[in-house]
Structure 1
């Protein structure tokens, strides 16, 4: 979990000299203490990415007080930047269908303090009974059924819910419906999906059965940002599980549930901690 008073500064710009020195000097001048610093030069795109976690002297924990100075500093490098107090938890809306293992895992990690988020709603295209094994506590549950004919109306209700709850992140925790291009565009950079295989591979229905038929020795999962290109969004995290010739399709499903939980929780954690920076079709991820 993030410590109180821990601020995170994100800077992206064209790669050039003096960036780290300039920001380090500024933090020194205001009495800031750098707790963590990560940087990456993308040689292919010529872009520079930096994440600085720092604290300020007692009584100086308002990021807005430094907006003018940081804007001027960013102007020197023509940089995009953001500053956030990690003590303020992001509001998260979770979407799920019948498979609730990822939902259960996210809520468990939230309850033990592993995910610094505030769940504001759970949305499902199935009634609550489909996820009866998960203790959702006092988190509001919304049943939004969907058919091809009702999809525009359902997404209109979903968008209203996102706005009403102030959700800053939407997590598709095995939500087995495709968001429209319009909704995907609205949620650009703040909607994470877990895909039940490596991307791109074994797309479509019954991916584990396809993998079993092909005799694979590895299965995996991919967490990525949702874009208008189905399952082609920037990848945040991936992981794998070893497969034996003696494993059945049901064994692959069981092992798949484990890797899906791990990959999605790590991706959500990285996003909540401001450790993911978009880089075109890719991401820069600074793990902790």
Structure 2
């Protein structure tokens, strides 16, 4: 390959969903080959229950986004395709919402800076000012947006304005201890990831570690999921657990739980940013 062709080659990631039927993989592979594509990674799954087919392909090609998009649009009616195309590794513009707990925000910011987490943290929004110094340390703009029953609608309007102004693609609730309204959940559908400090569906709502302690659990965990209008019941992306025993206090569980939370959230954010998470009704398919 010449130096010129190398310089104009782009590494694309294509995701698609459609009703499961014969010929999809062959048609997509053929389309990419017609555009000089070299497939570097390919995963697909047909759900026998829902009848949905999902596929994720990474491919190098000198074709432009417009050229590939036009070809995919032409193919779409044949299979009823819904597709998305992006550049592999492009940082996803991300807004993080927090309250007073620092561990998840600190972990995401550190991973972005040191471990190539493919996000661009463009803002931190908080209903408290406690974490302003942490955001400043990582050079992330901090926005204090207080929330009360009387100001909730205004606060959410400000959040939506920031999302539009900053061209935000992903919102991460990194231990943001406020419930989003149904209207906001619908406005940001599929673009909000929450970390719940419990192994859903158990111990929802407030003080889950205290609830877990009172039940004498042997495993504690955390759940990263997409946010919907149903509290803590959105499609699950990732879960993680830690074994505990009777000798550990509520405080011990909280400390262990924070480590589990940051791990689960970081994986969910990475997989979302890498276009590895596809929705299948109320479930997710994650191509790891």
TM-score of Structure 1 vs Structure 2, range by shorter chain = over 0.9
Does residue 28 (structure 1) correspond to residue 33 (structure 2)? The answer is: yes
Paired with 2:256 and 2:267, the residues of 1 have a C-alpha distance of: 17
Deviation of 1:87 (Å): 4.6
Paired with 1:130 and 1:49, the residues of 2 have a C-alpha distance of: 39
Partner of 1:230, secondary structure, is coil
- TM-score w.r.t. length of structure 2: 0.94
Deviations 1:204-249 (A, max 9, x none): 2211111111110000000000111111110000010000221111
Deviation of 1:12 (Å): 0.7
Deviation of 1:15 (Å): 0.6
CA RMSD of aligned residues (A): 1.4
My pick for the range that moved more, 103-112 or 66-75, is 66-75
Deviation of 1:165 (Å): 0.4
User: Aligned runs of 1:104-123 on 2, under 5 Å?
Assistant: 104-123=106-125
Paired with 2:255 and 2:133, the residues of 1 have a C-alpha distance of: 19
Match of 2:153 in 1: 152
How many corresponding residue pairs? 280
Paired with 1:279 and 1:103, the residues of 2 have a C-alpha distance of: 29
Match of 2:6 in 1: none
Match of 2:84 in 1: 82
Partner of 2:10, secondary structure, is coil
Does residue 271 (structure 1) correspond to residue 272 (structure 2)? The answer is: yes
Paired with 1:133 and 1:166, the residues of 2 have a C-alpha distance of: 23
* Structure 2 unaligned blocks of 5 or more: 1-8
Deviations 1:256-279 (A, max 9, x none): 000000000000000000000111
Paired with 1:48 and 1:74, the residues of 2 have a C-alpha distance of: 13
Paired with 1:68 and 1:20, the residues of 2 have a C-alpha distance of: 18
- 8 Å contact from structure 2 (residues 18, 81) kept in 1: yes
- TM-score w.r.t. length of structure 1: 0.94
- 8 Å contact from structure 1 (residues 5, 87) kept in 2: no
User: Aligned runs of 1:196-215 on 2, under 5 Å?
Assistant: 196-215=197-216
Tell me: CA distance 1:87–1:254, structure 2 relative to 1, closer, same or farther (3 Å): closer
